[in-house]
Chains A and B, each alone.
Chain A
Amino acid sequence: MSTALGDRHENYLNVDSSVKSWLLTTDHKRIAILYLLAATLFFLVGSVFAGLIRLNLMTPYGDLVQAETYNKLFTMHGITMIFFFLIPSIPAVLGNFLIPMMIGAKDVAFPRLNLLSWYVYILGGTFTLVAATLGGVDTGWTFYAPYSTVYANTNVIVTALGIFITGFSSILTGLNFIVTIHKLRAPGMKWSRLPLFVWAHYATSLIMVLGTPVIAITLLLVALERGLHLGIFDPALGGDPILFQDLFWFYSHPAVYIMILPSMGVVSELIACFSRKRIFGYEFVAASSLAIAILGFLVWGHHMFVSGQSVYAGMVFSLLSFLVAIPSAIKVFNWTATMYKGSIAYDAPMLYAMGFIGLFTIGGLTGLFLATLGADVHVHDTYFVIAHFHYIMVGGAMMGYLGGIHFWWPKMSGRLYPEAWSRAAGLILFVGFNLTFFPQFILGFLGMPRRYHVYPPEFQVLNVMSSAGATILGVGYLIPLIYLLWSLRYGPPAGPNPWGAKGLEWETPSPPPTQNFEKTPIVTEEAYAYAPTEAEVG
C-alpha cells in the first residue's frame, strides 16, 4: 500500500513499510490508520448481527432464530457498534489523525500512551469477540441488574471485562487530546482560532474522561457480583438494581454525545469549506459543544422514567433533557445560516454533511418526544426509541464519520476517490437509511416493543420495508469500502489541498510527512478565513 502511495515525497506512509514499524509506531497518523482498520472490522461484525436481526424480522413468526439467539444478536449488535465502533470511530481515527495537525503540533502529547490505547482497544475487542465465539451474551448492551448479575446464563463476565478494558482506551485517548489541545498549540493558535473540529473533540474528551470511569466501575461491580458473589446490586442483600441503572446511564447517556459531538465537529468543517464562508456564530458553535457535554451529564434519568425512579426526579430530568435541545439547535441553525448565501459546492462530503443535518434534526426532535414524561410512557421500549437513536447514531454520527473520511481521505492517503461513485453512495445511504428507520417510528408509535423476535402479523409490511431499507443501506456502505480501497492504487494524486480548504492540515503535503510540517507553523488568522467569493463569481 505505502509504496504505491508515496512515490513523490517521503511521508508517514512510505517512511518505513515493515509490519513492525506499524505495530510499534508512535506516529499519531499511523495510529489513526490502525484504528481505522480495527474500527472497520468491528463495524462489519456489528453489521452482520444487524443483518441477521433484520432478516429474522422479515416474518412475524421468528422463522430464522429462536428467542435466545435473537437476544444475543441484538446484544452483540449493540455492544460492538457502540463500544467498539461508534465511540472510537471519529475521535480515534479522524481525531488522532487531525488534531495535532490542526493545531500545528508534531504529535499528540503522549505518543506512546496513544499506541497503548490502541492495544488496549484491541485487547478489549478480543475479549468481546471471544465472548461472541463462546456463545455470546443476552443481557442487552445495557447489562441491567439483577438479570446480568444473577440470572443470565451467558458470557456476561468476559463481555463486561472486554468493555471495561476498552473503556481505558477511551479514557487514555480523551486524556491525550485534552493535554494536546492545552499544551501543544502552535504559536498564534489561540483558543478563539481553534477549528470547531478541535472544540468538538475537546468537549468529547471531557465526557470520555469524566464518564468512562463510571461505566468501568459499574461493569467491574457486575463482574465481581457474578464472579465473587459481592452483592452490591443484589436485592436479596438489600442492594438496589435501580442504582445500577443510575450509574450505567450516568455514562451511557453522555456516551451518546461521545458519538455525536465529534460528528458535529466534522460537519462544521465541511459546511464552512463547501459554503466557502466563515462559520456563522463561531463562538456559539464552539460553546454549544461544551454545553452539550456538560448538560449531557445531567439527563441520565430520562432513560428511567418507568423504572421506579421517583416522579419528582423524573420531572427534573425531563426538564433538563429539554435543555440539551438548545445547544443542539444552535448548531443546526448556525450551519444553516452558514450555508445561506454561501457559494455551495455539492461535493460528496457536503452531501454527507447535509444528510447529517436533516437526519440529526429528525433524531433530535423525536428525542424531545422521549424526554416528555407522558409521551415516553407510551413509546418507552418500543421501536420509536430504536428509530430515534438510530437517527442520531447512524443518521448523525455515521454520516458525519463517512463525510469526514471522504473529506480527509486525500490527506490521509494522498489520493482522490472517484467523486461520482461517492455522491451516488451518499444518496443510496440516505435513501436506505430512511427506508430502514422511518417505518420504525411508526411501528413504535403503534406499539411494537423492542427486543422481541416475533411480532403481530399486522406489523409485517412496515418490518419488510425496514429490512428492505437495511439491504440498501448495506449496499451504500459496501460501495465506499470498495472505491476507497480502489483509490489507494488507482486514484489520481490529491495534492496538498484538493478542496481549497482552510486549516493547517491542508498546508502540508498529502500524505503528510512524519513530523507533519516542515517547520512549526505560525497562525495569524482566525479559522475558516475563506476569501470573499469574487474569485468564484468572476
Chain B
Amino acid sequence: MHPRRRKLASIDSPLQHHFVGLEQQHEASTLGMWVFLVTEIMFFGGLFTLFTVYVTIHAEAFAEGSKHLDLLLGSVNTAVLIGSSFTMAMAVKSAQLGQRKPLLGFLVLTMFLGCVFIGIKGIEYTHKFEQHLVPGRNFHLDSPVAQNVQLFFSFYFAMTGLHALHMVIGVGVLTWLLVHSWHGRFSPTYFWPVEVSGLYWHFVDIVWIFLFPLLYLVARHA
C-alpha cells in the first residue's frame, strides 16, 4: 500500500462514533439504501400508474405517439445503460477486493457511459423540439388524436426527464466516489459506499428497462 494512503486510512477511520463496529455500519448503510430505493419505486410508481391508466384509455394515440420516438437511439441508450451496470458491478467488485486502479478505471467507464446516455437523450429531446412534439403551445401534429398524443408526450418528457435527472445525480455520486477512491479511502473492510451507490445506479438502470418498452415499443407489439 502507498505510504501516504496508509497514513490517511489510519487517521480517518471510517467507523462513525455511534456505531459499535464496521459491520453494524455496513448493515445500516445497506438497509438505508434499500429503504431509499423503496421510496424511489413509489415515486416512479405514481407515474407508471398514471401511464398504465392512460395507455389503456388512449391506446391508439399512445401507439401513434410511440411511433414518433427514435427506436434506434432508444435501443443504443438501452445497451449503453446495461453496459454501465456491468462496469458499475465491476467497480463494486474491485472495491471489495481493494484494487484501487481497476476501481478508478471502472468508475470512470461508468461515468462515461452515463454521460453518453444523457448526451443521446439530449439529442432526442432536440429532435422532438424541432418536430414540434414538445407539449405546450408549440405542439403541432396532423392527427385526429393529436391532443391525446400530446398527453403521451407529457408522459414521455416527465418520465424520461426524471430518469435523466436521476442519471445526473448518479454521475455526481460517482464523481464523489472517484475522489475518495483516488485518495485510497476504500479497502476490503470499508467498501460499501461503492456498493450502495452501485445499488442506486442499478436501480436507475432498471427504471429505464421499464421505460424503454413502455414508451418506445408500445406501438410495435402487434
Contact = CB atoms under 8 A, between A and B. Distances in A.
B144 to A, nearest CB: 12
Interface stretch (A101-109, A313-321, A332-340, A404-412): A101-109
B18 interface: yes
Contact of A238 (B17, B35, B147): B147
Interface in A207-263: 209-214, 216-218, 221, 224-225, 228-232, 234, 236-240, 243, 247, 250
A237 B32 contact: no
Contacts of B27: 183
Contact of B28 (A184, A214, A231, A239): A184
Most-contacted residue by chain B among A176, A183, A236 (CB, 10 A): A183
A297 to B, nearest CB: 11
A1 interface: no
Interface residues of A, number: 42
B46 interface: yes
A380 to B, nearest CB: 25
A176 B35 CA distance: 9
A237 B45 contact: no
Contact of A171 (B17, B39, B44): B39
Contacts of A234: 151
A210 B135 contact: no
B47 to A, nearest CB: 6
Interface residues of B, number: 39
Given A175-B32, A184-B28, A243-B50, A230 B18 contact: no
A213 B39 CA distance: 6
A237 B150 contact: yes
A88 B44 CA distance: 24
Name the prevailing secondary structure of the B interface residues: helix
Contacts of A237: 135, 147-148, 150-151, 154
B137 interface: yes
A51 interface: no
A105 B16 CA distance: 13
Interface in B3-33: 16-20, 24, 27-28, 31-32
Nearest to B27: A183
A534 B18 CA distance: 40
Given A109-B32, A184-B28, A224 B150 contact: no
The 4 closest A-B pairs by CB, nearest first: A229-B136, A213-B43, A213-B42, A230-B154
